[in-house]
């Protein structure tokens, strides 16, 4: 997907290909459940979750994969062992197919992010 021009997350999800819509809707629900006190926004054309005006989590439907952006270096370091086997860039987990998304790992990352504020990369 080229950077979305959607004004809100509902609009973003509506424009997704059907084969990704269910997984990304589930990811949004997980973010909303685990990130209490965060604000859900559109940032850089993707859904993002901010605390005190700072983006800490985001996700996107890219051309070749689904991205989960974990912008907290302390959380990435704490989960280094679990993330070692994942397709991971500097701050982005990539899932080539929706059925490969590890929602248990993502839930744990979200919980760790929500537990306390930390340094954004």
- pLDDT reading at 116 higher than 60: yes
- Give the pLDDT score at 39: 97
Which domains are present in the chain?
A: 9-113 (3.90.1150.200)
> Residue 87 CB: number of other CB atoms within 10 A?
12
Question: How confident is the model over 12-62, as pLDDT tens digits?
Answer: 999 999 999 999 999 999 999 999 999 999 999 999 999 999 999 999 999
Higher pLDDT, residue 3 or 105: 105
CA dihedral 94, 118, 115, 60 (to 10 degrees): -30
- pLDDT reading at 2 higher than 90: no
- Give the pLDDT score at 4: 80
Stated as kind and residue range, the H or E segment containing 32 is helix 18-34
Question: How confident is the model over 66-112, as pLDDT tens digits?
Answer: 999 999 999 999 999 999 999 998 889 999 999 999 999 999 999 99
What is this structure's pTM? 0.92
- Give the pLDDT score at 120: 83
């Amino acid at each position: 997907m080229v950077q979305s021009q959607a004004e809100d997350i509902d609009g973003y999800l509506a424009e997704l290909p059907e084969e990704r819509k269910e997984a990304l809707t589930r990811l949004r629900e997980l973010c909303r459940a685990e990130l209490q006190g965060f604000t859900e926004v559109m940032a850089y054309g993707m859904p993002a979750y901010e605390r005190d005006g700072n983006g800490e989590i985001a996700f996107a439907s890219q051309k070749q994969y689904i991205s989960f952006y974990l912008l907290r270096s302390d959380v990435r370091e704490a989960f280094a062992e679990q993330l070692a086997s994942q397709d991971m860039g500097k701050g982005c987990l990539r899932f080539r197919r929706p059925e490969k998304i590890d929602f248990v790992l993502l839930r744990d990352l979200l919980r760790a992010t929500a537990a306390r504020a930390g340094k954004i990369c």
